[in-house]
Each structure stands twice: as structure tokens, then as C-alpha cells.
Structure 1
Amino acid sequence: MDRAGISYQAAEHYRIIEIFAQWEGRINTTYLQNILQISRQKASEIVGRYQQQAPDNLIYDASAKGYRPTADFQPHFAQGHIDEYGQLLARSGCTDYLSIFETGFCQLEAPLRNISASLVQPIIRAIRDRLRLDIGYTSLSSPEYESRIISPHCLVFDGIRWHVRAYCEKNGDYRDFVLSRFNGEFEFEGAAMFGSEQDHRWQTWLELVIQPDPRLTPEKRRLIELDYQMNNGQRSIPVRAALAMYLVQRLRLDHYQNSPEAQQIIVEPESWKQIQPYLP
């Protein structure tokens, strides 16, 4: 599909249509009305324009009072991952969407600190404009706020917390800073001399190869292979060396369980040798 000339707003509307069509098997104007806060007529126009863009994706079903995906349905604006569906439902909170769509879907929220936009904005600007940033930061080793001059180049979400990947002038090296530990008081200190290009761990890619715990029975190993979409008993996950620790933690591979049923997966031994130097 040629997406040239399609505005960002239109592409987002079409993405919403594809998400509901793919994961709920139906899309109607009510969905768009509730999410986008628009009139029924406007919602109908959006669906109509989408059908012009992807004429083979939807078919009207009078009994369902909406459109269903065809057998040839292919997402052109959505990624086709169930995470998109969960994020879309969570926009206004699980309870609200249950009452609107009755999906029976709920998403477990991590106990995150509410991070203010005023904290994020200067960091985003520093990343975008390649600036040095003087900002207060506290850590477990230094509980009191102290001034840090950093050159940030990326915001990272590890599944639980937000981090800032940045060059730290105090340490003379690249570090990960937990976003919620900044105090929000900042000053710009001119152009950054260090960016992502000099961040060796950021530029280094590794392959984390996982496989079922060999202590499991063949039948249980097969179930684990299906859970993690493994091929030939393994799955390779590319990861930046700077982020390897977060991936290992998220997969619960940082602690070895006595029970194979609790462990489920392990890192392939040769892959572990490659990953280990980049772990704490």
C-alpha cells in the first residue's frame, strides 16, 4: 500500500480500525465515536476512507451491525501485535472500556511514580537538540539530590520504570538514570560533546538466545517452546548491550529457580557467555 499523502491523524484513525477489526473481529462507528469523541457521521466518513485505502480488509456484516475482517485481512497501519490492543483499551482506563466495549480485557499496571511533563520536556529537548543538561539526581548510593551534568540520548522503558540513557560528566561514562529520581530543576549547559555514537554499549548488539529449562519433560518443554514462539527449541532476541540487564530481568532470568516449572526458560550457555560481561 502506498501511504504517501496520508496524514498522521488519518493513519492513526486507520490504525484504530485495524486493531479492533483484527483482535475483536468487528469494528463499527461506535468504537470510533467513543475513542475519538466524534460524531457518528464523522466516524462513518473515517471508515469509508479506510475502505478506499484497504478495500480487501473489511466487509459489512448487517447482523453484527458493523464491519468484519475478511479472510485476506492484512494490517497496513497497525503492527498486528496484541500489545497494541491492550494499550488502546487502556487509554481511558480498563473500567471505562469494559463498560463501552465489554471486552473482558484488563491490564495490570505497574506501581509507577506519576512523572510530570515538566520533568520530561527538558530531557526530550536535550535529546533532540543534543544539549548538556544540569539536573538534580538522587540514587541509592547518594540519597541526597546532587547536581549532575548529563548529555542524554534516549529515553528507555524497561517494562516497569523509565530510564534516561546519558553520558555523565561526573562518572566520565555512559549511565542509566531512573527518570523518577530527577528533581525537575534543570539548566541547559550548551552543546553536548557526547551522543549515542560514542556509547559503546548502546551501539553493541547482542543475541539473547533462550530455550526451555532442560530439566523439564519433553512434553513441558514443547509447551514452553509454543509460549515463546521458539524454532528448533530456541528463540533469539536481539538486544543492545546497554539494555541486556533489563531484558534478562524482565524474562526473570536473573535468578535461577530450584523448580524447573518455576524457571521455565534459561539462556543458552554460549549466549550467556556473550551477555554476562554486560550484566551487573
Structure 2
Amino acid sequence: PNSATATITGEAPDLETTKGPRQNVNLKVGESIISLPPNPLDVGMLNLLQMVSDDMQRSTAPRILFGEVPSDISFATYNAGVQAASRTIIPHKEVSEDALVEMFTQKLMWSQHAKEDLVAFISTKSADGEEGREKYTLDHREFDINTIDMQVELKADIPIDRQARVNTAAQLYTTLPVSARYALEQTGITDAKQQMEEREQEDINSVAIQNTASSLSAEFMNELRETVRQEVLAQVQQEMQNEQSQQNGSQGAPQGQ
């Protein structure tokens, strides 16, 4: 019950059946009704709920990895919490990596046993922006299943780590005798060769555009010079003709008198 009543007969008063949180009570003279406070929370149930929540957090991923972050936390504290929480899932990460290695190995074993090639497709994008699909074929005769050494590493895509990898790869390329392809692979790019080919094509297109612009600019300047020269020449010829006409007119005037 959420209320206590005091009536003359000891029976509960009549409550009007209305929709909503508020109801009218029909009381007689000398009767009263008092709203009781809500029941206090069970401390034992709260402790049990906290224990179950802690057990779930220890057996699964920490909540901070799912975005459950207090609003007043600083970025440094949040980053440190993410790094600490990431270390707790290392055993699960290693199990997943081993499972992927086993799965890929089984696929290769099936290909060699069935004597069928493995075919895969990858989305590509040309330098001019056109999207397409490229086909990769792995011949079942090109590998020996007994000598395959496969490794799988799962990496979290964290912006801070990504920026650190880019800075490290740029420093390696400028300070150590490593190739550009190796530096690109260190940043996490899976197909460094394709990226290099696209960048080379972009550079070629850029140089071609600059040469075309320079050629057009030189052609425009030559045409402009020729136009100005012809206009100046025409103006000079017009002035010479005007002077000649004036001279002829001045010579014929005395003869007419």
C-alpha cells in the first residue's frame, strides 16, 4: 500500500477510478488519508547488483571500450583508461588471432586437397577516381601447406596510435635507408604498391597539367604580343596617312588662289 487511512468504520475509503497518477478520494467527516513514503532501497540487493556488474565487467570487455565515459573526465584520463582497458582484452585478442590463423590454414589445406585455386576480389580506385574490382588468384600449386608460417595481428584503429605510426614511418624514411613501400606498410596501409602507383599517376597528371598551363600561357602571351604589335602598326600607318593627307592639302591651297 502507498497510503494509510483512518476511517470510522475501519474500511478503506472509496477511490474514484480515473486515468493518470492522481485520483480523488471520497472521505467522510472525521476520516483522513496519509501518503506513505516509498520503501527504502534494499542494501543487500544493491550489493548483489554491484557484485554481478563487477563479475560481468571482469568476464567481458571493460565498459570504457563501449563508450561509457563520464562527462566530466579529461582526455588524458580517458586515453589512459582506454589503454589500460585494452590490455585486459589481450588474452581474448590472442585467441582470436590464433583462430584466424587456423581458419586461413584450413582454407589453404582445402584448396590444395581439392586442387582448386583460391580467388579473391578487392575494390580498387584509379587515379582519376573510377572505382572497380581487381581479381587475385592464388594457385594451389604455388605453396606447400607443410611450410606455411602464418601470423595474424589485430590492431585497434585509435587516432592517436595512427598519428604516431605515421610520424614514425616518416622519420624512418628520412633518417634510415628504408624504402617508401616499407614506410607505407608501417603506417598500416595493406597495399603500399597500389598507393605508390596511384601517387605516381597523380604526380604525372599534375606535371602534365602544369605543362599544359604553361604552354597555354606562353601561347596566349605570344598572341597578345602579336595583337598589340598589329594594333600599334595600324595606328602608326593611320597617323602617317593623316600626315600625308595634310601635306597634300597644304600644297594644293596656293595653286587654287
Shared fold (TM-score, shorter chain, > 0.5):
no
Task: Determine which structure has more spread, i.e. the larger CA radius of gyration.
Answer: 2
Higher relative contact order (CA 8 A, sep 6+): 1
Name the structure with the higher helix share: 2
